[in-house]
A = this chain, B = another copy of it.
């Protein structure tokens, strides 16, 4: 199922070592002048080869629009786009044709489909997220221009290293001050040291990304099955390597007493606000006007450089040792992916609400 969204719908296609990654956006409002610089910026943040922390695969990520634009503006018809795959060294993957890399999708794709494109992970490669970032950044533009919403994500933990960040004020510029994309610079330094240490041992690390959407008005979200946090959870868990999601206080909140967890209501000028935000801006599945805050957990990168036990396609035991270019930590590059999926989710909620109310 390669479509996401009801009213602003991305359909995504492409494999890691195919000619391109692309997508079709159906339902984009007409008359929008696309902020191509913003898209390029988010693609750059998603890109590998950004320094010691990420892999060296070079991706130019030149974005090509094929339809849906006329004289620089969206026409309301489907926006097809693609980003060519360059520098894909498929021969590196020939050794993988007949074995299953542990904790990759090699085995499950073959179990599901009966065959697989083994080159670079095929469709299961994180390379597919290029399409999400393109569409998500367009969604972000609409959210910003038509609804006044601003989204910022950052790396909130790597391995055991946590950080402290003010979700009400953090900016994307602050996030980008460190290579690891953690705006708590002390934590960032420790995270980077941890990543370098793991890499030096041929190992990899995981971590978490936090995300805030500020300016979301009260009223977005579609109970009981399309609750805003349910849709955000689905969006995050659809990202490669994502294994967890929490909204507001999340798992920590499950350890609190109700008397401490509840968010008291107060009057704040002419609107109603809460004095705390354990709810993460969502109550009963509907935004309450406070910042929408959530966190996603990413497992450590499956491709490390230590020898691993596995089996071949015909069931023979073998040892797998990775070669080539691989990130020791996917977190910094996942920040724009999280922002993109948040934007797609929130925009759809916004449009559904506008359908019913005209606002």
Contacts and interface: CB of A to CB of B under 8 A. Distances in A.
A205 to B, nearest CB: 6
Nearest to A79: B13
Interface string A218-230: 1111111111011
A268 to B, nearest CB: 9
Given A231-B234, A261-B103, A14 B300 contact: no
B205 A266 contact: no
A231 B225 CA distance: 11
A263 B102 contact: yes
B13 A264 contact: no
A66 B14 contact: yes
A29 B159 contact: no
A48 interface: no
Interface in A130-178: 157, 159-160
Contact of A359 (B218, B221, B282, B358): B358
Interface residues of A, number: 151
How many copies are assembled? 4
A204 B243 contact: no
Interface in A318-356: 351-356
Interface stretch (A36-44, A50-58, A68-76, A181-189): A68-76
A120 to B, nearest CB: 12
A142 to B, nearest CB: 10
Nearest to A207: B254
Interface string A297-309: 1111111101011
B251 A112 contact: no
B243 A238 contact: no
A246 B249 contact: no
B9 A3 contact: yes
Contacts of A270: 315
A59 interface: no
A253 B299 contact: yes
30 contacts: A2-B26, A12-B225, A15-B77, A20-B66, A24-B24, A29-B356, A30-B114, A70-B122, A75-B113, A76-B112, A100-B272, A105-B283, A123-B223, A159-B257, A198-B258, A201-B259, A203-B258, A208-B254, A229-B242, A229-B243, A230-B234, A233-B234, A234-B237, A244-B245, A245-B246, A251-B251, A254-B298, A259-B308, A264-B309, A354-B355
Given A108-B286, A208-B254, 12 more contacts: A1-B224, A3-B3, A22-B66, A30-B115, A102-B263, A107-B218, A198-B257, A234-B237, A243-B250, A258-B303, A261-B300, A351-B356
